[in-house]
Amino acid sequence: MSSPAWIFGGQTREEFDSFYEKQMQRLVDMHAEYTSEELSQMMSDAQARHAKARENQRRSGLASDKIYIEDASVRIENLKYIIAKREE
């Protein structure tokens, strides 16, 4: 059974999967010049930004601060993927 097309922006599941794989490969390629140590440092920095963003949002209570949490979360997940691909 295929998923509804609206879930994938009007694309079929296969088209979406192909697009996603290409996007993730571009992400890996963009970070090819960095060493493992540099990637680890980037991860530490992203985790620190995430913690600071969460603390700021807790203090202020502003919904607009959530974007900083989301940005840091995406960065962390991207770096996890890049590091995992390096270890393969």
What are the tens digits of pLDDT across the range 17-38? 898 999 999 999 999 999 999 9
Q: Cα separation of 78 and 88, whole Å?
A: 16
Of 11-15, 33-37, 43-47, 76-80, the range with the lowest mean pLDDT is 11-15
- If residue 57 lies in a helix (H) or strand (E), which one and from where to where? helix 36-60
CA distances from 85 to 21, 24, 31, 32, 80 (A): 12, 10, 11, 11, 9
Cβ-count burial 17-45 (b if 16+ within 10 Å, e if not):
eeeeeeeeeeeeeebeeeeeeeeeebbee
